[in-house]
Amino acid sequence: MVRTPNPVRQMEKRPNPLLWHGVFALLLLLAGYAIYQAVQAVNYTWRWERIPQYIVYQDEQKSMAEFDGTVVADQGTLWLQDDLDPTHRQKVAAQGALVAEGDTVFRGDAIDSRKAWTAGPIALGVWVTVKLSFCAGILAILLGTLAGLARLSPNPALRNLSITYVEIIRGTPLLVQIFIVYFFIGTVLNLDRFTAGVAALAVFTGAYVAEIVRAGVSSIHKGQMEAGRSLGMTSAQTMRYVILPQAFKRVLPPLAGQFINLIKDSSLVSVISITDLTKAGREVVSSTFSPFEVWFTVALLYLVLTGTLSFLVRRLEVKYAKSN
């Protein structure tokens, strides 16, 4: 006699989502309380008001006179008129004007002043980190894809070259590679700091991308290559139009994890004086003497960058899942 599952009993076995959400919230509260107690133990005074000005602030920007002249009014607008050429004029901003009609102004004098939002060192550090990670990521995809395909090549020279590259790069620390690229290769090729940092990160990440690509291509059934060849396509065409598109869907999650690591690993380029987010954080700490606030802010910004990348990758996964 075959017993059919009881749907009522199955529903009873399902965990209560509200209960476990409550457990999660409780754990967060306990973690927050533990952090609070740790801060109380060291008797630290929080000064969060010091941080915003290092992210974005209002800077006073002045316009300088481009020539010697006299301030004139024309239909309610102030102009700096060139003494030598009356047709040559420079407009004075209506708000924040530092001169009045009839004033004599010399070249280089301030004629108006206005406040504008300006990125602080932390915001500039975020931009450098994004630019560094993006450039290194693009190069790592190209290098890793070529190295991964070379590992699957029937040519022993290409295969051994790829294996050597992957094993050497994965077997040495990234920090050491950055020093070698900057102080040795960079000196020989006259590379600037940013280029050397991008090259070191791209070579390091490319080795891991190569293994991801190799595993993804190897997971595609060999019959796919045979089917492409039977349709008259070359091996390269079959790899490009049949194998790689399928492999890309499978390697998307590990690639995303690798590029998230790339964003975090980019903090190491601060050792060669690239002012990324980490180095900007150190400089702000030396100015504010507020290490906890600064490093919590830096950690949050890294979390925003990696979280944004994770969200975009999940969207891609959903898109490709629907296409299947």
- What is the share, in percent, of the chain residues with pLDDT greater than 90? 35
Mean pLDDT of 97-107: 85
Give the pLDDT of residue 125: 93
pLDDT higher at 167 or 5: 167
Name the pLDDT band for 5 (thresholds 50, 70, 90): low
Q: Chain-wide mean pLDDT for the chain?
A: 86
- Ramachandran angles phi, psi of 277, nearest 5°: -65, -40
Give the pLDDT of residue 12: 54
Element holding 69 (H helix, E strand): strand 69-74
Give whichever of 67-81, 189-203, 219-233 has the largest mean pLDDT: 189-203
Instruction: Give every CB contact of residue 111 below 8 A, 6+ residues apart in sequence.
Output: 62, 63, 64, 65, 71, 80, 90, 92, 97, 98, 99, 105
Instruction: Give every CB contact of residue 70 below 8 A, 6+ residues apart in sequence.
Output: 80, 81, 83, 102, 103, 104, 105
- Ramachandran angles phi, psi of 57, nearest 5°: -150, 165
Give the pLDDT of residue 225: 76
Q: Read off the DSSP letter of residue 67.
A: S
Give the pLDDT of residue 226: 74
> In this structure, are residues 259 and 166 in contact, taking their beta carbons and an 8 Å threshold?
no
Mean pLDDT of 29-50: 83
pTM above 0.95, yes or no: no
Mean pLDDT of 290-300: 90
Mean pLDDT of 199-212: 94
> In this structure, are residues 273 and 279 in contact, taking their beta carbons and an 8 Å threshold?
yes
Mean pLDDT of 238-260: 83
Give the pLDDT of residue 321: 67
Q: Which of 131-135, 160-164, 224-228, 276-280 has the lowest mean pLDDT?
A: 224-228
Give the pLDDT of residue 32: 87
3-class SS at 273? coil
Of residues 120, 103, 133, 106, the one with CA closest to residue 52 = 120
Sign (positive or negative) of CA dihedral 135, 254, 260, 272: negative
Give the pLDDT of residue 182: 92
Instruction: Give every CB contact of residue 92 below 8 A, 6+ residues apart in sequence.
Output: 63, 71, 77, 78, 79, 80, 99, 111, 112
* pLDDT value at 212 more than 80: yes
> In this structure, are residues 212 and 148 in contact, taking their beta carbons and an 8 Å threshold?
yes
Q: Which of 84-88, 141-145, 190-194, 239-243 has the lowest mean pLDDT?
A: 239-243
